[in-house]
Chain A
């Protein structure tokens, strides 16, 4: 038992030394620092070069005032109607889906994207970093 404990300690120590080496040499990002681009998000510059299906997760008024061309309106309020429109569009031509809301501070796009990942597990789904603000500016 003591030998197993000693072996485990050696392995743990070597692993920690290796991880510290990665951190100090900049091979790995600091895990406690929030990344520039959170997982599941995509930058507009990257989204523009893809053939994607846009989902507008803002409210009806904001959508009527302006939206990305061909964007489908889908949020938590009109989920049942919007999901059928989205299914039709996506099944007819499967492509990445990008959800956006009003700005970097809104959380709707992330929530809608998360819900869509459960509804369409085979689809590639992102939320747009910066939201509608990024598109307008």
Chain B
């Protein structure tokens, strides 16, 4: 019983951390989408004309799924989308690192003084968050199975 409560507590903490990180990442980008568009273009994966669309939509998606992971109505899909975004960010950082780009990651907006070239730290951070997503999704899956089993 105690172990079960402990596990639930870990999952709750993981949810809160993920929500906090994604909401905190979204707010500065919503305030300065132009600077975020420049950060996106700096990765040289997509052109400036497409980076403006990313800068318009991605911060709102981060905000919605950041809050959504706490809401029972949309928490499973929010968790899955957070996982997909984190995997995408890890891929982008790997690509930028391999190409020797010395850029700010733009993860929390442009004016946070991030050390963009420290790709190891960025990837380690995202991998830890990805593990938290795995924990949350596993718990959601278990809850779903239990609900189906009791019906």
Contacts and interface: CB of A to CB of B under 8 A. Distances in A.
B76 A4 contact: yes
B38 A39 contact: yes
Interface residues of A, number: 24
Interface string B44-88: 100011011101110011011100100001101110110000000
Interface in A103-126: 117, 121-122
A18 B63 contact: yes
Interface stretch (A25-33, A42-50, A74-82): A25-33
Interface in A25-81: 27-29, 31, 34-35, 38-40
Contacts of A11: 61, 64-65, 68, 74, 77-78, 81
Contact of B52 (A15, A18, A27, A29): A29
B86 to A, nearest CB: 16
Contact of A10 (B30, B33, B60, B74): B74
Interface residues of B, number: 33
A38 B48 CA distance: 8
Interface in B95-121: 99-102
Contacts of A18: 60, 63-64
Contacts of A38: 48
A15 B60 contact: yes
A27 B56 CA distance: 9
B66 to A, nearest CB: 11
Most central of B37, B38, B77, B101 by chain A CB within 10 Å: B77
A14 B56 contact: no
Contacts of B48: 35, 38-40
Contact of B33 (A15, A28, A40): A28
A5 B81 CA distance: 12
Interface of B: 30-31, 33-34, 37-38, 41, 44, 48-49, 51-53, 55-57, 60-61, 63-65, 68, 73-74, 76-78, 80-81, 99-102
16 contacts: A4-B80, A7-B74, A7-B76, A10-B74, A11-B68, A11-B81, A14-B64, A18-B63, A22-B30, A22-B33, A28-B55, A29-B52, A34-B49, A39-B51, A121-B99, A122-B102
Give the 3 A-B residue pairs with the shortest CB-CB distance, closest first: A18-B60, A7-B77, A31-B52
